[in-house]
Structure 1
Amino acid sequence: MNLKQQIEQYQPDNAQEIKDQELILKYMDLFDNLLTRENEFAHFTASAWVVNQNRTKVLMAYHNIYQSWSWVGGHADGNANLLEVALKETQEETGLQKIKPVSDEMYSIEILGVAAHEKKGNHIATHVHLNVTYLIEADENELLQIKPDENSDIGWFTFEDAIAASTEPEMKVVYKKLNDKLRK
């Protein structure tokens, strides 16, 4: 099943996801380069909501650009298999090797606004990430390793502490949604 079909078949969990699904599908009809950063307005990213085996904690990384505790993930960079992207980014950003998806299905979708910033000496204009989140399981006892060019710390948090640790108001809403799904 291709990415568009996966997004079409995704069952939105709330009004935000209903609207974002509609817009993502509209963008997919308008643009043919959403899998790469060549599209400077909107492009696909994949995130991982990494949980421990008991589903009592989530893994957060202190993101250098946003100066906030956040989930892990990254740009699709041409790869339409967003689960693969989420798994790769989780390993790269945390050092974890013993990870597995709880499901191959999308866990969440969202359109995320990204403020203008500098990255590697280049100005990145304000744009949006068409984000797909996957629920990933990891062993909380496995050794963590920061990725200095992206994060400066990594740690396991209770659901509530993960939300409190984030300094980005819009992301607190996303993390609450992800945690609420876990509790269902």
Structure 2
Amino acid sequence: MDRLSLRSNLEKYRTPFEEEASFINDFIDLTFDEKAFVRERLDGHFTGSAWIVNKTRTHALLTHHRKLDRWLQLGGHADGNENLLEVAMSEAMEESGLSSLRIVDSGIFDIDRHVIPQKGEVPEHFHYDVRFLIEAEINEPLVISEESMDLAWIPFDAIEDLTGTNSSILRMLEKTSKSEILL
């Protein structure tokens, strides 16, 4: 999925969630910017994330992000790679150590635009996060990367308590619960 196919997929992307629908056009517009896939674009840039679930759809793998001090899905900067599915898979492997990762659907699962606070000389900016649904074996050992304080399979019914009012996490959880994707 390069820049052109990302744009095409975003143009076709539909969601019943008003918040998510409200920024689809911003994502499409960003695909026209030559620097959209590099973190040096300080107004905001693309990132790729993996919403990792177990095969029976009872748990999601979350990381306690070291810099943000919040529980989140795994993912990261594109660093010039326009294939955000590759970015999501690479970040998921690096941040979890899992080898059983399997793409459930190569289409966009979710998108979210969120503010990243200023850190050192890097000013506050937006991440335009494109998320993909990934499956993994829940019993495979996890390896915590230096980007995380912790990494854990969280039961679906405990995610809201752990993540608070993070609307994008709760939206992905709801999408997974309502998903018609075969187990």
TM-score (norm 2): 0.90
Instruction: Measure how far apart 1:130 and its partner are.
Output: 0.8
1:161 paired with 2:127, answer no
RMSD: 1.4
- Could you tell me how far apart the structure 1 residues matched to 2:76 and 2:114 are? 12
Deviates further, 77-86 or 155-164: 155-164
- Could you tell me how far apart the structure 2 residues matched to 1:13 and 1:117 are? 34
Q: Structure 2 unaligned runs (5+)?
A: 179-183
Instruction: Measure how far apart 1:70 and its partner are.
Output: 1.3
CA deviation vs aligned residue, 1:53-94 (integer Å, no higher than 9, x gap) = 101100011111111221110011111111111010000001
1:132 paired with 2:135, answer no
Instruction: Measure how far apart 1:42 and its partner are.
Output: 0.9
Instruction: Measure how far apart 1:131 and its partner are.
Output: 0.8
> In the alignment, which of 40, 57, 60 is matched to residue 59 of structure 2?
57
Instruction: Measure how far apart 1:152 and its partner are.
Output: 1.8
Percent identity, aligned pairs only?
Answer: 32
Assess if the C-alpha contact under 8 Å between 1:106 and 1:133 holds in 2.
yes
Instruction: Measure how far apart 1:146 and its partner are.
Output: 0.5
Q: Structure 1 unaligned runs (5+)?
A: none
TM-score (norm 1): 0.90
Instruction: Measure how far apart 1:28 and its partner are.
Output: 3.0
| Residue aligned with 2:157, SS | helix
- Could you tell me how far apart the structure 2 residues matched to 1:33 and 1:6 are? 19
CA deviation vs aligned residue, 1:110-161 (integer Å, no higher than 9, x gap) = 111111124xxxx22100011101110000000100002x002111111231
